[in-house]
Amino acid sequence: MNAAEHKKHADLARPSLGNFGRNEWAVLGTPCPAIKKLAEDIIAELSISYKCAYLDAAHVKEGQPSILPGRLAAGAFAEYADKINHHEFLFNKKFNAFGFREVLHDADLILVNGNHQQAKSQVVVIDKVKEASLKRKLGQLTDVQLFLMAEEETTIFDFVKEAIPHWEKIPVFSLKEKDKIVVFFKNKMECAIPKINGLVLAGGKSLRFGSDKGMINWHGKEQREYVAELLQPFCKEVFISCREEQQAELNGNFQSVTDTFTGIGPYGAILSAFRKQPDAAWLVVACDLPLLDTNVLKFLVEHRNHSSIATTFQSPHDGLPEPLITIWEPKSYPVLLSFLAQGYSCPRKVLINSDATILQPPFPNALMNVNTQEEFQKASVLLGLETK
């Protein structure tokens, strides 16, 4: 093998993340109190629909000693306190991009004080008070999406125009125009809602049933293909999840996702889908739901909460979340991996112990799954089919 053939790292699809998360903006070019106030205004309006985070740096006066708080001063690595109405974690360690993303994976919107931290996208305030500081940060202006004019400012600095060739196409508001700024971020967040892909779970070995459940003909075609067709109106792309040896059986009407996390059942199928497209939400449906119809899927998609890690139904059989008819958001990917790292491969356990949105099913019978011949007979009767 020569150097050109050697690949140091696996060819993995990486999520579209910045330094802290998916949707992050650094606000810079004005004093820190103005940045904090702007962040508060935006968060107050958007936190109803989105999980928002704010990052800043402590402002220590020159010459003031830096003293570790609490038990960190005694040498603790971390300290947690339940503050009743909020929770506080203190760490005596440095965070890099990997650490920040792990902690903030649940955040939909991250605002950053750009006077101290960099972010993937930027909001630049034109303010003579911080003109010199902004000039030193020109290298950080990689994706400016909004200009804000401080009081009495009327023109964008020439050095900013020179650094940003397309500056005239970027929206410009006054820093006082709170409503316009909020609408700007609402529109950005609306556009950032992940697309939905469909995933039909058809890779099980159907040991209890005795034959491949994905090949049952309840609706004039193989059940796995029938479910895939049900998903099409709600999804950008639809895939059938299968084992590698099953691919030859598929008729080619739909793309497939073969298990790359093997031996852990549906959990591995969901992770394999995220490994393929980590920025998509995945509407995951088991192939053994013969009573499932368009109305149920429409209800699920219309009540989707993209700020949760997942949107699912409460099972009418045991009252627990039903993981195999669920919209799994991209932010669930690191959560699923984290549970797996702790030795758990049950998607229901993830839903129970995470911030998931759980809906009451509009048609409870539609969630009936078939694992045995007795359940097959019952489903066939409900569908009005003759059984032997």
Query: E strands of the chain, at which residues?
Result: 24-28, 52-55, 78-82, 87-91, 109-113, 121-126, 144-149, 172-174, 196-201, 238-242, 255-258, 281-286, 310-314, 321-328, 356-359
- Asked which of 6-15, 44-53, 304-313 is least confident by mean pLDDT, the reply is 6-15
Buried b (16+ CB within 10 A) or exposed e, 84-114: eeeeeeeeeeeeeeeebbeebbbbbbbbbbb
What is the C-alpha end-to-end distance of the chain, expressed in Å?
60
**Domain residue extents for the chain:** 24-58+69-191, 196-382
- Banded pLDDT at 359 (limits 50, 70, 90): very high
pLDDT at residue 122, as a whole number: 97
User: Confidence band (pLDDT; 50, 70, 90) for 4?
Assistant: low
Length of the chain: 388
pLDDT at 383 over 70: no
Q: DSSP code of 222?
A: B
Share of the chain above pLDDT 70, in %: 86
Grade residue 53 by pLDDT with cuts at 50, 70 and 90: very high
Q: pLDDT-based confidence at 19, cuts 50/70/90? A: very high
Q: What is the pLDDT of residue 207?
A: 41
What pLDDT does residue 210 have? 41
Top-tier CATH class for 24-58+69-191: alpha beta
Residue among 334, 256, 237, 260 at smallest CA distance from 14: 334
Q: What is the pLDDT of residue 11?
A: 76
Average pLDDT over residues 36-63: 91
Phi and psi at residue 48, to the nearest 5°: -65, -35
CATH superfamily of 196-382: Spore Coat Polysaccharide Biosynthesis Protein SpsA; Chain A (3.90.550.10)
Does residue 197 register a pLDDT over 90?
yes
> One fold for both 24-58+69-191 and 196-382?
no
pLDDT at 55 over 70: yes
Residue 199, beta-bridge partner list: 239, 284
pLDDT at 267 over 90: yes
Q: What is the 3-state secondary structure (H, E, C) of 340-357?
A: HHCCCCCHHHHHHCCCEE
Could you tell me which residues come within 8 angstroms of residue 160 by beta carbon, excluding any fewer than 6 positions away? 124, 126, 134, 138, 141, 167
The first and second tokens of residue 192, run together, are: 């950032």
pLDDT value of position 202: 86
Residue 358: pLDDT above 90? yes
Most confident stretch, 54-68, 71-85, 250-264: 71-85
